[in-house]
C-alpha cells in the first residue's frame, strides 16, 4: 500500500473552534448540536473542540522574531500543536457588527503555518443573516493564509428564536442537511490536501 493510500484511510482530524467568549454566548450549545449532527452523518472524522474562552492569548504580540510573554507562551503551548495536528478546521462563529469576533481574529493572527494547505468550514449564527457576513469576511482572511474554505456552510438564522433550550435548531431537517453537505466537502478537501502535504510539503 502506498503512503498516500495509508494516509487517506486514517481518520481526518478536525479542530472545531468556538469563536465567541461573550457572556451568555450560544457558541458551546451550537457546537454541541453540530457535533451531534456530524456523528449522525459522517464517520472517519475525529473532532478536537477548542473553546477560545479557555485560550488566554493576549492582544499584544511580540515584534517580528521576538518571543511571546509567559502568558502567551503558555496559551500557545496548548493550542498551537492542536492546530498543527489538525487536518481541517470548523469555525463556530456569531456575527458581531457585520463581522466576526475579535477573539477569533486574534487566534488566527497568532498562527500562520498551522492554517496553510488545509480546508476550513463554517458554522455561523446570528440575526436574520445567520452570521453569513462574518463567514464571508473569514473567507478573505483564510485566502491570505493559504487555506481553502469549502463552498457550503451552516448558518443558523435568529438563534435566540431559532434554537431550542438544548441548543438544537428548531428547523432540524434543513440545518442537518447543511451540516452534512459542508462536512462532505470538508472531508474530501481534508483528505486530498493531507495526501498532497504528505507527498509534497507545502511551500506557501
What is the predicted pLDDT for the residue at 60? 92
Parent domain of 42: 3-60+72-195
What is the predicted pLDDT for the residue at 32? 93
Please determine, for residue 49, whether its predicted confidence score (pLDDT) is greater than 70.
yes
CATH classification of the domain holding 25: 3.40.50.360
Candidates 135, 139, 128, 127; CA nearest to 154 is 135
40/146: higher pLDDT: 146
User: Quick check: is 129 in a domain?
Assistant: yes
pLDDT tens-digit map of 133-142: 999 999 999 9
pLDDT tens-digit map of 143-188: 999 999 999 999 988 655 566 666 677 777 788 899 999 999 999 9
What is the predicted pLDDT for the residue at 20? 94
pTM (global) more than 0.85: yes
Spatial separation of the C-alpha atoms in residues 103 and 58, rounded to whole Å: 9
What are the angstrom distances between the C-alpha of 122 and each of 86, 114, 134, 136, 139? 15, 17, 10, 10, 10
Beta-bridged to residue 13, according to DSSP, are 46
Total tally of structural domains belonging to the chain: 1
What is the average pLDDT across 55-82?
94
User: Quick check: is 178 in a domain?
Assistant: yes
What is the predicted pLDDT for the residue at 9? 78
pLDDT tens-digit map of 81-136: 999 999 999 999 999 999 999 999 999 999 999 999 999 999 999 878 889 999 99
User: Quick check: is 39 in a domain?
Assistant: yes
CA 105 to centroid of chain Cα atoms: 12
User: Quick check: is 203 in a domain?
Assistant: no
Residue 43: which pLDDT band, with cuts at 50, 70 and 90? Answer: confident
Q: Which helix (H) or strand (E) holds 154?
A: strand 154-156
3-class secondary-structure state, position 32: helix
User: Quick check: is 65 in a domain?
Assistant: no
User: Quick check: is 27 in a domain?
Assistant: yes
- Sign, Cα dihedral of 33, 83, 204, 100: positive
User: Quick check: is 142 in a domain?
Assistant: yes
User: Quick check: is 47 in a domain?
Assistant: yes
Tell me which long-range contacts 163-171 makes (C-beta under 8 A, separation of at least 24): 163/26, 163/29, 163/30, 163/33, 163/125, 166/29, 166/33, 167/26, 167/28, 167/29, 167/30, 167/32, 167/33, 168/33, 168/36, 169/33
Amino acid at each position: 500500500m502506498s503512503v498516500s493510500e495509508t494516509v487517506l484511510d486514517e481518520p481526518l482530524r478536525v479542530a472545531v473552534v468556538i469563536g465567541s467568549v461573550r457572556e451568555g454566548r450560544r457558541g458551546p450549545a451550537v457546537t454541541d448540536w453540530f457535533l451531534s449532527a456530524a456523528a449522525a452523518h459522517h464517520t472517519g472524522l475525529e473532532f478536537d473542540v477548542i473553546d477560545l474562552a479557555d485560550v488566554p492569548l493576549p492582544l499584544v504580540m511580540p515584534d517580528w522574531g521576538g518571543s511571546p510573554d509567559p502568558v502567551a507562551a503558555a496559551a500557545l503551548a496548548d493550542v498551537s500543536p492542536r492546530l498543527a495536528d489538525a487536518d481541517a478546521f470548523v469555525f463556530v462563529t456569531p456575527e458581531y457588527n457585520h463581522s466576526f469576533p475579535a477573539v477569533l481574529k486574534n487566534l488566527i493572527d497568532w498562527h500562520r503555518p498551522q492554517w496553510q494547505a488545509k480546508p476550513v468550514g463554517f458554522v455561523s449564527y446570528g440575526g436574520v443573516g445567520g452570521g453569513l457576513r462574518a463567514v464571508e469576511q473569514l473567507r478573505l482572511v483564510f485566502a491570505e493564509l493559504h487555506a481553502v474554505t469549502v463552498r457550503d456552510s451552516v448558518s443558523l438564522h435568529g438563534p435566540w428564536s431559532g434554537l431550542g433550550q438544548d441548543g438544537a435548531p428548531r428547523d432540524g431537517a434543513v440545518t442537518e442537511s447543511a451540516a452534512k453537505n459542508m462536512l462532505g466537502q470538508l472531508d474530501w478537501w481534508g483528505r486530498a490536501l493531507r495526501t498532497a502535504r504528505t507527498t509534497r510539503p507545502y511551500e506557501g
